[in-house]
Amino acid sequence: MHVLACILRHIWSTTSRAFVMALWASASSAGHRAATLSLVRLLIQDKRYGTSPELRPVEERFKQLLQRGATEDRDALTLQGELLFQQGRLGLAATTLQRALHLHQDSDPVGTGTSDGADAGRSLDFEWRPYCVLCLARVRAAMGRRENAKELLESLAAGPEGFVAADVELVRLGLLTPEEARQSMYNAACHGRRDMFERLAESEGEGPEKNLWVLEWSRLAGAA
């Protein structure tokens, strides 16, 4: 059920959204860790965490994952850090996200982290490490530590397989020079974020070639 929900997550119509949530909730009730984390992540991103009585059992299971003591769940800590950031508790959010990364400091370099759900079969792994770094960068930027945020995001974008969301976030947070922003938008667009072609078209300044570039970026955006 969890894998099917992750696949449907990419379709994301109103109907599929409700179905995805139902699948994850059902899998969570059966003790599936990844489904619990995936659904909580969705609730946090939709700013609906703590607002639905029907999903309180899922939130309780999430809290149980946070109470494992010595075997702390780093993916769960990542979500907790994101929730704290959303609540404006920046210091505690940074501490929580750093805790998750510290627990994983001897692991491999940051990967792509493209999966929608945490791997249920590898509870000691840290599938969402790239997302944790992304969240920490957002916190750092909100705290005024923009250079540190930029360093974190650039490390993700320059990883072995890259992390497209890092390029997008660098642009969104305004951490780049105009030329750097163009390169990041282009990189993201070429790796699935076709909306970045539209941003490239919008970013064209004055000059004799402006109209040609605008037409080309718009064409690529329309072909996506």
Give me the phi and psi of 97, to 5 degrees please.
-65, -40
CA angle 75, 81, 82 (to 5 degrees): 95
Residue 216 lies in a domain: no
Residue 140 lies in a domain: yes
pLDDT value at residue 159? 83
pTM for the structure as a whole: 0.79
Give me the phi and psi of 209, to 5 degrees please.
-100, 5
Structural domain boundaries enclosing 99: 74-103+127-144
pLDDT value at residue 17? 76
- State how many domains the chain has: 1
Query: Can you spell out the DSSP letters for 78-146?
Result: HHHHHHHHHTT-HHHHHHHHHHHHHTTTTSPPP-----SS--TT-TTS-TTHHHHHHHHHHHHHHTT-H
Residue 133 lies in a domain: yes
Residue 135 lies in a domain: yes
Query: pLDDT in tens for each of the 224 residues of the chain?
Result: 555 545 545 555 556 778 788 889 999 999 999 999 999 999 999 999 999 999 999 999 999 999 875 568 999 999 999 999 999 999 999 999 999 999 877 444 444 333 444 443 344 589 999 999 999 999 999 999 999 999 999 999 998 767 899 999 999 999 999 999 989 998 898 888 888 887 887 776 655 566 666 677 667 666 65
Amino acid at 169: E
Residue 99 lies in a domain: yes
